[in-house]
């Protein structure tokens, strides 16, 4: 069992690395991709298409994993991801690349959710912190390696290898999982809630598009569709997101807490490198290092989390994580144009430590109160809310930053435009405005932390577990 479990864990880590790297690897290859394919105005959809399809497919795969088993759904998702990778590597135009990335996202939705489900199946409650730490380490390292690898491949080879390299790595992961993952699923007549799936997909896509574009009408339309989805789920024979999940305090608190994880994660990830380069004057590599230590703190606390949640419970462990995040928020607010890069890195490290405790408490806590037959849909819900929280957090923080910039610079602008203007005449006022804008996003993050405390307090202090 130990050898088989180790082999499966290695396969899961390889699969997770694929999904994680492809979320970040494209950004540094923008110049070479646009040079070959043109249509720079369409390029944001290369990233947005991946994120959208990943978000909407995550809860669907979670439900399918409960209905038909983890193994077939994970292998199906990985197969879709590899097909999307091949199509992306062979893309002949920007629209073709966008479609290929959307296909990749559909596969990544399975990887994101079902990898965590299988880990929950394989490891008892006492050991889930360890496997979550390993998967978090893979995610953190991939997030760091992705941009660097994308830049190296696009500069010294071709950007197409960014996607084609997924094929051999994915083939190994598929082979390992196919050979070693064994499960026994009760066969019977099962149905997927297709109408509910259509409602959830259209609602989430509309909301995320509206948030990304800063347009209220798609958001309003999407929320209306999601309200209809919630009504439908109370009547569907086999609902996609069953109503019983919302009546369980542990699950409700875990979903809300996971959304907070996504919202808090956005601030440092998006704005700390900009601050380090545009305000502190650091180079790209040094700015990346300041953010990298966040990825070190996250798995570090996850590895030791089991001792905390087994002794004190999931709620108190999550509150400990939020306390660390609150400390990091105060440190971030204290960043000034005269601060050192080491101080910025310290802020990110403490933030990562807190996020590690909060995230593992939400995931393992949710998994612990349901059995095998419900673990997929619950895990899919946790991952879905984290992705959705990230989209909402990105929209909120962008609005805060852009409002501050508009007030400081006398007109509408964005953080990206301000960062590009630093090389021109009158750079010092731009630098000061950029510092103020990022400072305000960190203040907004502190407010989100307070909301996170309210979300986590929904959880009971002690929970009954089914393991």
Residues 439-455 have pLDDT tens digits of: 899 999 999 998 889 88
The answer to whether 1-182 and 244-467 have equal CATH topology is yes
List pLDDT tens digits, range 180-206: 888 766 655 567 788 888 898 898 888
pLDDT of residue 151: 67
Taking a C-beta distance cutoff of 8 angstroms, is the pair 87, 96 a contact?
A: yes
Question: What DSSP line would sit under 60-122, residue for residue?
Answer: HHHHHHHHH-HHHHHHHHHHHHHHHHHHHHT--SHHHHHHHHHHHHHHHHHHHHHHHHHHHHH
Domain 1-182 has CATH 1.20.1250.20: yes
What is the dihedral sign for C-alpha 137, 142, 145, 148?
A: negative
Residues of the chain with pLDDT under 50: 1, 425, 467
pLDDT for residue 79: 94
- CATH topology for 244-467? Growth Hormone; Chain: A; (1.20.1250)
Sequence-distant (≥ 6) Cβ neighbours of residue 423 within 8 angstroms:
none
Q: How far apart are CA 31 and CA 88, in angstroms?
A: 16
Whether 10 contacts 176, CB under 8 Å: yes
| Runs of H (alpha helix) within 313-426 | 314-333, 341-368, 372-409, 415-421
What are the residue ranges spanned by the domains of the chain?
A: 1-182, 193-239, 244-467
pLDDT of residue 104: 93
- pLDDT given at position 416: 61
């Amino acid at each position: 069992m130990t050898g088989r479990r180790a082999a499966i864990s290695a396969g899961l880590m390889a699969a997770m690395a694929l999904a994680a790297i492809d979320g970040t690897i494209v950004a540094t290859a923008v110049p070479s991709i646009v040079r070959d394919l043109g249509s720079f105005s369409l390029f944001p959809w290369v990233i947005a298409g991946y994120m959208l399809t990943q978000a909407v497919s995550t809860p669907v795969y979670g439900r399918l994993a409960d209905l038909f088993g983890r193994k077939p759904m994970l292998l199906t998702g990985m197969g879709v991801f590899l097909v999307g990778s091949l199509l992306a590597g062979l893309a002949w135009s920007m629209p073709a690349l966008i479609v290929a990335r959307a296909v990749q996202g559909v596969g990544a939705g399975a990887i994101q959710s079902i990898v965590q489900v299988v880990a929950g199946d394989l490891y008892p409650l006492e050991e889930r912190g360890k496997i979550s730490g390993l998967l978090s380490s893979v995610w953190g390292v991939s997030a760091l390696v992705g941009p660097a690898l994308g830049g190296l491949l696009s500069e010294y080879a071709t950007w197409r290898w960014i996607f084609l390299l997924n094929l051999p790595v994915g083939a190994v992961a598929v082979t390992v999982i196919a050979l070693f993952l064994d499960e026994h699923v009760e066969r019977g007549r099962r149905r997927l809630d297709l109408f509910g799936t259509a409602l959830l997909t259209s609602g989430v896509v509309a909301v995320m598009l509206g948030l990304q574009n800063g347009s209220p009408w798609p958001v309003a339309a999407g929320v209306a569709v999601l309200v209809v989805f919630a009504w439908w789920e109370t009547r569907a024979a086999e609902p996609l997101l069953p109503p019983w999940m919302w009546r369980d305090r542990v699950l409700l608190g875990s979903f809300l807490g996971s959304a907070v994880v996504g919202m808090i994660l956005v601030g440092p990830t998006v704005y700390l490198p900009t601050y380090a380069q545009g305000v502190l004057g650091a180079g790209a590599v040094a700015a990346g290092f300041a953010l990298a230590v966040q990825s070190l703190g996250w798995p570090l606390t996850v590895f030791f989390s089991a001792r905390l949640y087994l002794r004190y419970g999931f709620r108190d462990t999550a509150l400990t994580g939020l306390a660390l995040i609150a400390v990091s928020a105060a440190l971030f607010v204290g960043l000034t144009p005269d601060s050192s890069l080491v101080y910025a890195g310290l802020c990110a490290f403490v933030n990562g430590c807190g996020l590690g405790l909060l995230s593992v408490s939400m995931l393992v806590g949710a998994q612990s109160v349901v059995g095998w037959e419900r673990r997929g849909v619950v895990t899919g819900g946790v991952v879905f809310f984290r992705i959705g929280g990230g989209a909402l957090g990105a929209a909120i923080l962008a609005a805060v930053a852009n409002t501050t910039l508009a007030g400081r610079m006398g007109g509408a602008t964005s953080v990206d435009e301000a960062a590009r203007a630093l090389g021109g005449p009158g750079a010092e006022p731009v630098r000061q405005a950029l510092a103020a804008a990022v400072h305000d996003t960190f203040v907004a993050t502190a407010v989100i932390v307070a909301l996170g405390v309210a979300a986590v307090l929904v959880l009971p202090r002690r929970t009954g577990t089914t393991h």
